[in-house]
Amino acid sequence: MNTHHQKLERHSVGFAIAILLVASIGGIVEIAPLFTIENTVEQVDGMRPYTPLEQAGRDIYVREGCYACHSQMIRTLRSDVDRYGPYSLAAESMYDHPHQWGSKRTGPDLARVGGKYSDAWHVAHLNAPRDLVEGSVMPGYPFLAATALNTATLPAALTALRRVGVPYSDAQIAQAQRDAINQADPDAGYEDDLIERYGDKVQIRDFDGDPNRVTEMDALVAYLQMLGTLATLPREDAQ
């Protein structure tokens, strides 16, 4: 006795329509929640768009493929929490395009690496990883310290991010180059301006140890030192 499915298989047009119908239902189920994303992502105190210097560092992080070996997503597993700190919240990635969650951990998760090591440690580690971590398979990036940061592209980068939902203001975009340069110069007397635009958690200092210029190393270290430091985490028992 033929089943309904067997009968449907004999009619190619009807079978194709059935496939499209099922695929459409699946697509709607996946896409519909995106229209309510603002209601589904919890609000967390302290979150803000990245400063231009941090965003430049993030772009370098992506450019160099750091995401291929480092995740930025601490899971709720006790082993993750014990090793890396409180588990990640969705709101911590709300300004990431693309997000850096991942599951590949050739190296440790970096979601809460900010403040764990000194700037000098990060610079030395990026220059020659095995000098600090015996047996590391991470390549060195000494060229970052020798490469001046291209700040001319920052206004356009922030403008592009605003188009996809990051709430950069006109002032933040207009001052992007100046903000990036002065965040790496603690003697510029620019602290109040940066705090006004990005809040009191913005870190202002010479990140790469070379006060004479702003380099790609400055940007990447600024980004790493910011990770996990913005959100006010509500679950102290997750430590």
Q: What is the pLDDT of residues 113-156, one digit of tens each?
A: 999 999 999 999 999 999 999 999 999 999 999 999 999 999 99
Q: Which CATH number fits domain 52-238: 2.40.160.10, 3.30.1330.60, 1.10.760.10, 3.60.9.10?
A: 1.10.760.10
- Please tell me the distance from the alpha carbon of residue 66 to that of residue 99, in angstroms, as a whole number: 13
The pLDDT tens digits for 152-185 are: 999 999 999 999 999 999 999 999 999 999 999 9
Average the pLDDT over 73-95 and give the result: 93
DSSP helix/strand/coil, 63: helix
pLDDT reading at 222 higher than 90: yes
Are the CB atoms for 208 and 218 separated by under 8 Å?
yes
How confident is residue 194, by pLDDT bands cut at 50, 70 and 90? very high
Average the pLDDT over 49-62 and give the result: 98
pLDDT reading at 238 higher than 60: no
% of the chain surpassing 70 pLDDT: 91
**Predicted pLDDT of residue 90:** 87
**Predicted pLDDT of residue 39:** 65
Mean pLDDT of the chain: 90
- Please tell me the distance from the alpha carbon of residue 29 to that of residue 24, in angstroms, as a whole number: 9
The pLDDT tens digits for 3-44 are: 766 766 677 777 788 888 888 898 888 777 767 666 666 778
**Predicted pLDDT of residue 40:** 63
Collect contacts of 139-147 with beta carbons under 8 A, ≥24 apart.
141/64, 141/217, 141/220, 143/216, 144/60, 144/215, 144/216, 144/217, 144/220, 145/208, 145/210, 145/215, 145/216, 145/217, 146/215, 147/215, 147/216, 147/217
